[in-house]
Structure 1
Amino acid sequence: MADAVHPADKPAAFPYEGPEALRLPIEQALRRVVDPELAMSIVDVGLVYGVTLADDVLRVHLTMTSAACPVTDLIVDEAGTELDRVVPGGVAIDVQLVWEPPWTPERMSARAKAFMGW
């Protein structure tokens, strides 16, 4: 039987600052958000640049693979909806779209690269 991997022992899918108890629920919520053009989670695609929870505000920095992405609003809205399901009441959710640094395929997880045949 394989040893269980504690979430803190896994490499971080994205930078996170906040209560450790919310790290995994937040990551799981963001993994439920799928980029419909690629049929993969935004975490695996590497669109999540970072998450910070402080002063009752959850800030999520997301990017898109292209500034011309036709599903940007859908992804941002879905991220907010999924996060709202896991954060405590009274925590505001602020999903911010960022363009720096620009997204590159190197940000994709090994799983996503394998799926794409890279």
Structure 2
Amino acid sequence: MMVAGIGCRAGAPLAALQAALDAAEAQAGPVDALATIAARGPHLAPLAGLRALPLHLVAVEGITTPTRSPRILALHGTGSVAEAAALAAAGPGARIVAARHVSPCGQATAAIAETAQKGPA
């Protein structure tokens, strides 16, 4: 399963969320779900509805991410909300397949994680 983690500033426009997600999907392919922190759930609900995707609200503090923003680390206890949300929602052993992409306006980020591959049945 592919999960897109989304981070955004309060009031980020839907177009910014879409642009960040589109950029991440261009690298990794389409996603099966969206994820973000609880505080941003209301901001992401329109995007989830538009894309007909489930939205997972997750805790991100303490999750190690490939990219690190000092500002986000101070605010949320992780280097990237987008990457950490994707990893948290994708579950144990998940890996980032599209690192943080930033919308052109800088108000939204998206990253994609893939669930751990399971062995043959």
TM-score of the superposed pair, with normalisation by structure 1? 0.28
Asked which structure has the greater RCO (Cα within 8 Å, sep 6+), the reply is 2
Higher radius of gyration, 1 or 2: 1
